[in-house]
Amino acid sequence: MGPSVLLVDDERFARTLYSDYLRASGHDVEVADSTEAALVLLAYRRFDVLVTDVILPGAKDGLELLDAAKHIDPNIGVVVITALDEVAPAVRAIRSGATDYLVKPVTPEALQLAVQRCLATRELLAENLSLRAHIRLFESCQRIAATLDRARLVPLAMEAIASECGARGALLAERTASGNWIYSGTFGLSVDAATPLLEAARPALLALDPAAIQRLALPEGSPLDRALVIPIADESLLGAAVIPVDHEPAAERLARAQLVARHAGLALHNLGRLEEARDLAYVDDLTRLFNTRYLDLTLDREIGGGKPFSVLFLDLDRFKTVNDEHGHLSGSQLLVEVGRVLRSCVRDEDVIARFGGDEYVVVLVGIDAGGGLKVAERIRRAIEDHRFLSREGGRVRITSSVGLASFPEHASTKEELIDMADRAMYRGKRTTRNVVYIASKDLPPVPPGERG
């Protein structure tokens, strides 16, 4: 069927003549004899072109019909025909959005040319809208792919995917290295709504094909009865967007959503690489504990928070003899084992860093000097009681000296905290070793090279 045309004229002869012209050219033509009749047709059917006389019976003329038609469909093409060869109606018609203005008598060629101009203009507008939509999609994908901040990436990507699916919100589930699926954030959904949605999607997630959209029925009582699961992948399956919907989006919109998801996958992949690089920058190569860079960040954060915390400075006693008697490889392995012993003595929120050589620093978050002393003593005993290098058949025993300084009791800057904990530790090295000392102002500085 050809392009649809609505022809409006109060003269039967004109309606018959012009409609015959247009049908002969392959157009699908509907006719009306008044503005009111034309508005009824416009209300239930889409037309590509409106051809209307200016003077029509009833309260509204052809120019008012033009305005009403443009309100219903801004891209409808309009040709105005009249017996009045006057400038004012023509100007008003063009300003109101008419593509052409013809004066009766109208030849078949002139009418056909005017209608073709309307159709060409409408097609151009549609192409422009499509182009603008593709540009917006491209810009959205570029923003997502370039985002390396997880807090911004998740809502940005979920909003774009939900929008392409005509949905109000979406949930991001990420796949862990072990194959589990975890909640990673949402756009447009509350946590209360996201939790059951993730659980409902879990069976589909466990069997998810990285290249295919899964459709699932939601449990009875859910606000919507269905959801889409769109894979988010780059080199491998990284996650999925779970989108509750009230109807199946068109294939074109699903394809656009998948394009957004692929860019989200690229962003998640880049973010993972960045986080790995950041971890390497803050992790000691040998022990896999944090290093001094991360220790600086931790101390800045805790001091900025203003709450009490404690710093333990720990040095292994006579560690050089381990290297001399068992070799440097065994000495390195012992340092790794010390890290494991330290982890077993503190909480997850506490920070352990290798300070250098056989020295370690432990930041006890939210613990004052009294509590820090108990933890320090626990660590000292744990190291004393542990038999190191047992897998290698060595069963080496070693002890440690521990110094303790607390914020804000002993110092208010990170440099002072480390220095005072170091001095307290050195006091133990100069006396009995295998001991814990608390910082005090009268402790002398540590002479270089005297900690072994």
**105 and 35 within one domain:** yes
CA distances from 118 to 16, 96, 125, 342 (A): 21, 14, 11, 79
Q: Which residues contact 400 (CB under 8 A, 6 or more apart)?
A: 314, 315, 316, 317, 379, 380, 383, 384, 434
User: For residue 215, is it within any domain?
Assistant: yes
**431 and 311 within one domain:** yes
* Pick from 99-103, 215-219, 277-281, 334-338: least confident: 277-281
Return d(Cα 319, Cα 324) in angstroms, integer: 9
Dump pLDDT digits (tens) for 1-34. Answer: 688 999 999 889 888 888 888 898 889 999 999 8
What is the sign of the dihedral through the CA atoms of 279, 280, 284 and 285? positive
pLDDT at residue 277, as a whole number = 77
Dump pLDDT digits (tens) for 53-66. Answer: 888 887 788 888 88
Return d(Cα 53, Cα 65) in angstroms, integer: 10
**414 and 316 within one domain:** yes
**153 and 57 within one domain:** no
Q: Which of 229, 257, 281 is the last residue of a domain?
A: 281
**Which two structure tokens, joined as six digits, stand for 450?**
């005297």
pLDDT at residue 225, as a whole number = 86
Q: Which of 251, 281, 311 is the last residue of a domain?
A: 281
User: For residue 100, is it within any domain?
Assistant: yes
CATH code of 344's domain: 3.30.70.270
User: For residue 174, is it within any domain?
Assistant: yes
Kindly indicate the confidence band of residue 151, based on its pLDDT and cuts at 50, 70 and 90. confident
Kindly indicate the confidence band of residue 452, based on its pLDDT and cuts at 50, 70 and 90. low
**426 and 298 within one domain:** yes
**77 and 8 within one domain:** yes
User: For residue 363, is it within any domain?
Assistant: yes
**259 and 172 within one domain:** yes
CATH code of 55's domain: 3.40.50.2300
| Domain region containing 219 | 147-281
Whether residue 420 is predicted with pLDDT greater than 90 in this model: the reply is yes
**250 and 367 within one domain:** no
User: For residue 18, is it within any domain?
Assistant: yes
CATH code of 170's domain: 3.30.450.40
**352 and 252 within one domain:** no
User: For residue 141, is it within any domain?
Assistant: no
User: For residue 135, is it within any domain?
Assistant: no
**303 and 273 within one domain:** no
Mind spelling out the 3-state secondary structure of the chain?
CCCEEEEECCCHHHHHHHHHHHHHCCCEEEEECCHHHHHHHHHHCCCCEEEEECCCCCCCCHHHHHHHHHHHCCCCEEEEEECCCCHHHHHHHHHCCCCEEEECCCCHHHHHHHHHHHHHHHHHHHHHHHHHHHHHHHHHHHHHHHCCCHHHHHHHHHHHHHHHCCCCCEEEEEECCCCCEEEEEEECCCHHHHHHHHHHHHHHHHCCCCCCCEEEECCCCCCCCEEEEEEEECCCEEEEEEEEECCCCCHHHHHHHHHHHHHHHHHHHHHHHHHHHHHHHHECCCCCCECHHHHHHHHHHHHHHCCCEEEEEEEECCHHHHHHHHCHHHHHHHHHHHHHHHHHHCCCCCEEEEEECCEEEEEECCCCHHHHHHHHHHHHHHHHHCCECCCCCCCECCCEEEEEEEECCCCCCHHHHHHHHHHHHHHHHHCCCCCEEECCCCCCCCCCCCCC
Q: Which of 250, 281, 312 is the last residue of a domain?
A: 281
**420 and 301 within one domain:** yes
The full length of the chain comes to 452
**274 and 388 within one domain:** no
Dump pLDDT digits (tens) for 30-78. Answer: 999 988 999 999 988 889 999 988 888 877 888 888 888 888 888 888 8
Dump pLDDT digits (tens) for 254-307. Answer: 999 999 999 999 999 988 888 777 777 888 989 989 999 999 999 999 999 999
Total of domains in the chain: 3
Amino acid at position 353, single letter: A
Kindly indicate the confidence band of residue 450, based on its pLDDT and cuts at 50, 70 and 90. low
User: For residue 447, is it within any domain?
Assistant: no
Dump pLDDT digits (tens) for 184-239. Answer: 999 999 888 888 999 999 999 999 999 999 999 888 877 888 999 999 998 889 99
Could you count the other beta carbons within 10 Å of the beta carbon of residue 242?
30
